[in-house]
Structure 1
């Protein structure tokens, strides 16, 4: 029998390798891994889905908001940290805001200009969130670089070099009253929407306020999907939740402790509270 040409034998060998590898890597290996995962880690392999009254209410691995239809926090529930993932906790848009610590100057909306919208800096977002959390929890929402009205305490000085002759509180749109009356002997003006202040020197003014609201209450996680809050943020919310539900603070703190995960491997990170599991435990406590 005449042997096949070498090029045909090479193609047949490649075809056999393709079929064998397709079978192993495309069928056998996925089925094996799926079977092991389902047998040993059934809950985690299926998304760590949390159920209530026979229906899915979320995942223990993905955060969610506990707000009403208007976006207002529901008083009887612990609140999650902010999220920059889409409209909030959107797994399809997971990610951070990509705003850094030098993002401190707002873009004020120009009045009457179509298509021109204002844009809050990261600093003002943090200030506004801290003010809102403070009002919700009945504590001070003040922070060192924030104005009392919840924007970044930032000045633009003119000229950019040398002794200032003009100072503008660029994040406080007129007719707002600037957070300080004078800076280095110069009267501080409010910011005029639409005016270009880019030529000025940027100065962030540190106040004397001590931050009571924890950092995770005012900043989003890197993924935007973090289901946990810090123990400090949970403790800040205990009084409100207890009051709204007619419970004693000790009862609520006990549930917080039950739903607090320790450090990874005993030494990595900090203890954290799973907000969804905690709120479901509160619902079960009151039927």
Structure 2
């Protein structure tokens, strides 16, 4: 009797498993797939793919790096925002590897670089120095002022480590030693720290491999204007590291360069940028964006580069 009851329970469980498998594993996916292929939905459901001359060239949902083999920007294209999604083997130096989506994992307190003692190429830049160097590079490329507050003219964070007795608030009112922690100046003395002195103490250059965490970390504001022409999305990656959109402000500072490279007027180019500018989601969420991937491929179609 007990065996018969045990068998009935398991048969019932098996039937429920089969029924739910058919419903959730076959019928439901088939219905969703069918709906996704309806006109107006098919393109998005299939990955918003972009074709050029009958060949698949990308997706309007995934950013691309418009650079040469060395990672330098191609002047005839609008540039996307930086990406943290680069493969570890360096095969895609500028990121946008969809199999390695990632974020930078650095916050506003990341202001001190880790200077490698053996090889400068192994330096680990802080978020501040990363922003400073990127802003300087964008400014040079676009012919605008890339300087930012708390950045040195050399493109690193203007941060001091101040040593000496601390008061009850953890401050160092009378420093005995001051180091520019992100600047490893040349040993021949041809380069100097961004600031000569701090509270009457001469500022020293950082020594590679040295630990300055015992000092009070003091970021220095500098003279750069807060309203820099290089917007924040030009120097920081998106959360996924894959987004293809940039702000209209970032697109605007690139118009002169791209128009010159393609030998067209800026007004012609601005019209194309406007056509690829999307408004806020639902009219109030987020900000306006420009899809660089779609913009660049339409740019090639309408105004081919003849350089």
TM-score where L is the length of structure 1: 0.95
Structural mapping, 1:31-180, within 5 Å: 31-40=30-39, 41-87=41-87, 88-111=95-118, 117-159=122-164, 161=166, 162=172, 163-175=174-186, 176-180=191-195
Partner of 1:43: helix, strand, or coil?
A: helix
> How far apart, in 2, do the equivalents of 1:192 and 1:158 lie?
15
Which residue of structure 2 lines up, in the alignment, with residue 21 of structure 1?
A: 20
Distance 1:4 1:194, change over 3 A: closer
**Number of paired residues?**
284
Counterpart check, 1:9 vs 2:21: no
SS at match of 2:10: helix
Structure 2 stretches lacking a partner, 5+ long: 88-94, 167-171
2:287 maps to 1:270: yes
Q: For 1:19 and 1:281, how far apart are their aligned partners in 2?
A: 50
In the alignment, the residues of structure 2 paired with residue 244 and residue 104 of structure 1 have an alpha-carbon distance, to the nearest angstrom, of 37
| C-alpha distance in 2 between matches for 1:149 and 1:209 | 13
1:200-233, CA deviations, whole angstroms, 9 ceiling, x for partnerless residues? 1100001121222100000001110111000000
The answer to whether the aligner puts 1:237 opposite 2:254 as a matched pair is: yes
CA–CA separation in structure 2 for the residues paired with 1:148 and 1:80: 24
CA distance in 1, matches of 2:52, 2:4: 67
Cα 1:218/1:247, change in 2 over 3 Å:
same
Q: CA deviation at 1:37?
A: 0.6
Match of 2:238 in 1: 221
User: Secondary structure at the residue paired with 1:172?
Assistant: coil
Query: Shift in Å at residue 286 of structure 1?
Result: 2.2
Q: Distance in 2 between matches of 1:96 and 1:3?
A: 58
- How far does residue 111 in structure 1 lie from its aligned partner after superposition? 3.0
| Structure 1 residues 101 and 3, CA gap change in structure 2 (3 angstroms) | closer
CA distance in 1, matches of 2:122, 2:295: 38
Q: CA deviation at 1:122?
A: 0.8
Conserved 8 A contact 1:109-1:117? yes
The answer for unaligned runs of 5 or more in structure 1 is none
SS at structure 2 position matched to 1:61: coil
For 1:86 and 1:125, the matched residues in 2 are separated by 16
Question: CA offsets, 1:12-45, max 9 Å, x none?
Answer: 1111111111111111110110110111410010
* Cα distance in structure 1, aligned partners of 2:265 and 2:293: 20
Closer, same or farther: CA 150–30 of 1 in aligned 2, 3 Å: same
